[in-house]
Structure 1
Amino acid sequence: MKILILGCGWLAESFAIDMIHQGHEVWASTTQNEKYHRLNANGIFSFIIDFDRENFPKRIELPAHFDVVLNSVPASQKNSLSVLENRFSNITCFLGRITWRKQIFLSSIGIYPDKDGLFVESYSDQAELSPKLLLAEQKMLRLTNTVIYRLGGLFGKNRIFAKYFCDRICTTGEQPANFVHIDDVVPLIVAALFNKLQWPVYNVVAPLHPKKKDVIYASAKKYGLALPIAFEPGVNFQKIVSGELLQTELRYQFILPDPLQF
């Protein structure tokens, strides 16, 4: 299998290494010289490209066809709509020079509003969806054979939830955790390669949703980290994002279904 990765961040790099170990051919883009050399050293055909550049390169030598494109270029909330419009227009232009059997675009459950409720993929009030994430998703869905994975809060490896609250005040402790572990995300991406999915958009979230406060206590104890200075009241909306659609369709059993295990 021939795989192209756009935006080879820490999740995509883990996926790439797994695919290399399974004997697949992997090409991957990065914006960093250090990562370019590391990827190449691991047997990945790496190339440097910045989809935000005004003088966007017109030509990079790639195979004409890929079995899979894993697109993990982010639609970051810190960027303006105009920057994201340019970024994903450049990606569309870049992908126009190749063909593929399936593209998986990694988005985020941050597209849903921060309010009480159970959120599933059919939620369609566009006025409440994040305009930045929605822009990116809509641009990618215009491309052929594309599936979107909306990832929950992603943890694993050096990403430990309690680390972000050491010796700080936590005001979100009563909110439900809509998290997922990288050890489940990578297999769910692999599963998408070998299964014909029925829908264009899926949430990728662990099935259990403990309070964030309890996840902090559990991960601080597990990894020997300091607790927050205090838990104080904040905006504690009860937002739960369901990943049941993908789990049911793939008949997938989560390796780490409970963020208390992360």
Structure 2
Amino acid sequence: MTLELVKKSKHISILGCGWLGLPLAIDRIAKGDTIKGSTTTESKIEKLKTEGITPYLFTLGESLEKEYLDFLSGSEIIIINFPPKRIPNIIEIYQNQIKSILPFISDTQKIIFISSTSVYQNTNGKVTETLNIEPEKESGKAVAAVERLLQEQFENRVSIIRLSGLIGDDRLPGRFLANKKEVQNGDVPINVIHREDCIGLINAVIEKEAWGEIINGCADQHPIRKEYYTLAAQKIGLTPPTFIKQEKQAYKIISNTKSKTLLGYSYIHPDPLKLI
């Protein structure tokens, strides 16, 4: 039994041990893996150590080669969990940040890039991973540019997980639109995913060795935006948003079918309304 566990354990580097990366690291350690984790915040170093993570403090694009080499060396899998900041020149800056670490990834290491469904344009219908993406916002364009960058360099060694709106733990949807007036698109379906399912999907990619794939992550159900955010605000005692009437409303429905068929994944939280 011991030999079997040793064989299955992995060495993983997680770039970005924040809201998602830290609980992911803790989960992988519980499975017997050895984890290196990066942060840009010095005060988080002790927390990472306490959880059994080997911590690294650096900022992409501003660090020394040795730091990158130490962080990446010896790991079979690199998880890039570093979203772009909403700043001017976001597309160029985000690409340059990711580019700074890529030369230090070896020819045998696998990569998981935590992407976003913001890369999809509104189609007023269901969207799958086969859609030719045309991002509408700068953040989506930045993420799409990095997807292409990674695919060109690593091809079948990189898997991209496009996550919908993130909820769970301290990310309470009731706060997102509370007190807001004349909010648009009240009658469109929403796309969200709980953090536990984000971790579940990442684990499934690793365990199934599903490399070279693009996979959407989204809850099964898509409640109407007005209903969802009104109930969510009321639940925590905040003033619900008000929505304007619109004849035409833009939306998309993220399909999670591939995550189920390819990975055999069953969502822990399929219905967002049950989380309110």
Task: State the partner residue of 1:143.
Answer: 154
CA–CA separation in structure 2 for the residues paired with 1:179 and 1:156: 10
Residue in 2 that maps onto 1:213: 226
Task: Tell me how far apart the structure 1 counterparts of residues 185 and 242 of structure 2 sit (CA, whole Å).
Answer: 11
More displaced 10-residue stretch of structure 1: 84-93 or 213-222: 213-222
* Within-5 A mapping of 1:179-258: 179-197=192-210, 200-222=213-235, 224-233=236-245, 236-258=249-271
SS at match of 2:65: coil
Deviation at 1:155, TM superposition (A): 0.3
User: Given residue 228 of structure 1, which amino acid in structure 2 is its aligned partner?
Assistant: P
By how many angstroms is 1:75 displaced?
3.2
Residue 119 of structure 1, CA deviation: 1.2
Q: Distance in 1 between matches of 2:87 and 2:225?
A: 24
Instruction: Tell me the secondary structure at the aligned position of residue 126 of structure 2.
Output: strand
Q: How many residues in Structure 1 have an aligned counterpart in Structure 2? A: 257
Q: Is the 8 A contact 2:121 2:134 kept in 1?
A: no
Give, in angstroms, the shift of residue 62 of structure 1: 4.1
Q: Which moved more, 1:84-93 or 1:118-127?
A: 118-127
8 Å CA contact 2:56–2:71 kept in 1: the answer is no
Cα distance, 1:191 vs structure 2: 1.0
More helix by share: 2
Determine whether 1:159 maps to 2:171: yes
Amino acid in the other structure paired with 2:48: L
Alignment equivalent of 2:126, drawn from 102, 118, 125: 118
Q: CA RMSD in A?
A: 2.2
Name the residue aligned to 1:85. 95
Partner of 1:39: 48
- Find runs of 4+ consecutive structure 1 residues off by over 6 angstroms: none
The residue identity in structure 2 corresponding to 1:106 is I
Measured after TM superposition, the shift of residue 71 of structure 1 is: 0.9
TM superposition score normalised by structure 1: 0.89
Change in Cα spacing, 1:199 to 1:59, as seen in structure 2 (3 Å) is closer
- 2:144 is the alignment partner of 1:134: yes
**SS in structure 1 opposite 2:66?**
coil
Q: Are 1:49 and 2:58 an aligned pair?
A: yes
Identity among equivalent positions (%) equals 27
- Name the one with the larger strand percent: 1
CA pair 229-189 structure 1, distance change in 2 beyond 3 A: closer
How far apart are the structure 2 equivalents of 1:8 and 1:213? Answer: 33
Superposed CA offset, 1:106-150 (max 9, x none): 000000113423211111155869431221101122226110000
Cα pair 2:158 2:212 within 8 Å, conserved: no
Native 8 Å contact 1:76 1:132 kept in 2? no
- Structure 2 gap segments, 5+ residues each: 1-9
Is the Cα contact below 8 Å between 1:66 and 1:99 reproduced in 2?
Answer: no
Shift of 1:63: 6.3
8 Å contact kept, 1:64–1:99 = no
Distance in 1 (CA, whole Å) between partners of 2:257 and 2:242 is 34
For residues 201-260 of structure 1, give each alpha carbon's deviation from its aligned partner in whole angstroms, at most 9, with x where no partner exists: 1111111111112211332344x2313252223673131111111112222221110111
Consecutive unaligned residues of structure 1, counting only runs of 5 or more, are none
Are residues 216 and 138 of structure 1, via their aligned partners in 2, closer, same or farther at CA, if it must alter by over 3 Å? same
Separation (CA, whole Å) in 2 of partners of 1:29 and 1:233: 45
Match of 1:50, SS state, is coil
